[in-house]
Amino acid sequence: MVTDRTRPVVVLVGPPGSGKSTVGRVLAERLGTTLHDTDAAIEAAESRSIADIFVDDGEPAFRDLERAEVARALAEERGVLALGGGAVMDPRTEQALEGHVVVFLDVAIADASKRVGFDRSRPLLSVNPRASWVAMMNARRATYERVATHRVDTAGRLPDDIADEIAGLLEGAEA
């Protein structure tokens, strides 16, 4: 079992537009801890955007970087950890999440499209973004649900309200 001293407080997973980064910032502030966003960490380490990594090196190269960053973060980060939307699809990452408190931020396409705008910065959504998002979510939903210890619906909700719900779940887990 992963102990309190050796794990993130909570790991946020979900599709693009679910609010992992935004809710993660609010939640980290509420909990008096840090947010570590694996996508942002990869971009900083590589000095380029994820979209550029996809274009220049391909998705498999990005997924290798992602898998390594998630493994490092699960071992070393102690605050709120926000994973990229596809990270959980790697079987090694799914296995590494065992024993961690994982919250699946669930969202419907209507809210996701408002939040991300389906622009070209999201390489897997660049062609027919709405249909791509729906297909992606259909492929990933079972994995999100399987790795999660909690599911939080973010549809139509403000980040503060979502963070409050997650904080309450975390308090309940400690009791």
User: Which residues, 6+ apart, have CB-to-CB distance to 59 below 8 Å?
Assistant: 123, 124
Distance CA 134, CA 113 (A): 11
Residue ranges in the chain whose pLDDT is less than 70: 1-6, 110-129, 173-175
Q: Which two tokens mark 157?
A: 């909700």
Q: What is the pLDDT of residue 1?
A: 38
Question: Interhelix angle for 50-57 vs 38-46, to 10°?
Answer: 60
Domains of the chain, each with CATH number or no CATH: 4-170 (3.40.50.300)
The pLDDT tens digits of the residues spanning 35-50 come to 999 999 999 999 999 9
pTM confidence score:
0.88
In Å, the largest CA–CA distance within the chain is: 48
Specify the pLDDT at position 18: 87
Cα–Cα distance list, 119 to 57, 64, 99, 129 (Å): 20, 24, 35, 8
The pLDDT value given to residue 113:
63
Residue 135, token pair as written in the block: 């297909």
